[in-house]
Amino acid sequence: MIKDMQKNAMILSCTIDPGATITIEIMPPAALSSKEGMITLLNADGVRVHRVSYTSGPVR
């Protein structure tokens, strides 16, 4: 499951192996801001396994 900064959840229909990279299209009710935000990845038990924050500013 993925949660956005407002804690809107999107259920994933796949398993992500450790170290794997996949592309996910974010669908409502989850949404990504064009300014700044945070994305949280949770396992099947609802436990956070990863969180990423982002901004609209340039990367340094």
| pLDDT values of the chain reduced to their tens digit, one per residue, 60 residues | 999 999 999 999 888 888 899 999 999 999 988 888 999 999 989 999 999 998 887 766
* Residue 21 within any structural domain of the chain: no
52, containing H or E segment = strand 48-55
Q: Residue 11: what pLDDT?
A: 94
How many structural domains does the chain have? 1
- Tokens found for residue 1: 């499951």
In whole angstroms, give the CA distance from residue 60 to residue 55: 12
Q: Residue 5: what pLDDT?
A: 92
Its pTM stands at 0.78
Q: Which domain holds residue 44?
A: 2-16+26-55
